[in-house]
Amino acid sequence: GGTACLSVDCSLLKYSCTDCSLLKYGCTDCSLLKYGCTDCSLMKYGCTDCSLLKYGCTDCSLLKYGCTDCSLLKYVCTDCSLLKYGCTDCSLLKYVCTDCSLLKYGCTDCSLLKYGCTDCSLLKYGCTDCSLLKYACIDCLHTQNFF
pLDDT in tens, 88-137: 444 444 444 444 444 444 444 444 444 445 445 555 555 545 555 454 44
Residue 12 within a domain = no
Provide the pLDDT for residue 31.
52
Residue 114 within a domain = yes
Provide the pLDDT for residue 16.
47
Provide the pLDDT for residue 120.
53
Provide the pLDDT for residue 27.
53
Alpha carbon distance 67, 64 (integer Å): 7
Residue 49 within a domain = yes
Provide the pLDDT for residue 125.
53
Give 55's Cβ-side CA count (13 Å radius): 18
Asked whether the beta carbons of 83 and 103 are under 8 A apart, the reply is no
Residue 71: partners with Cβ closer than 8 Å, 6 or more residues away? 55, 56
Provide the pLDDT for residue 20.
53
Asked whether the beta carbons of 140 and 133 are under 8 A apart, the reply is yes
Residue 1 within a domain = no
Number of domains in the chain: 1
Residue 129 within a domain = yes
For residue 44, give its domain range: 17-146
Higher pLDDT, 60 or 75: 60
pLDDT in tens, 34-68: 444 544 554 554 454 455 555 445 455 555 544 54
Give 136's Cβ-side CA count (13 Å radius): 0
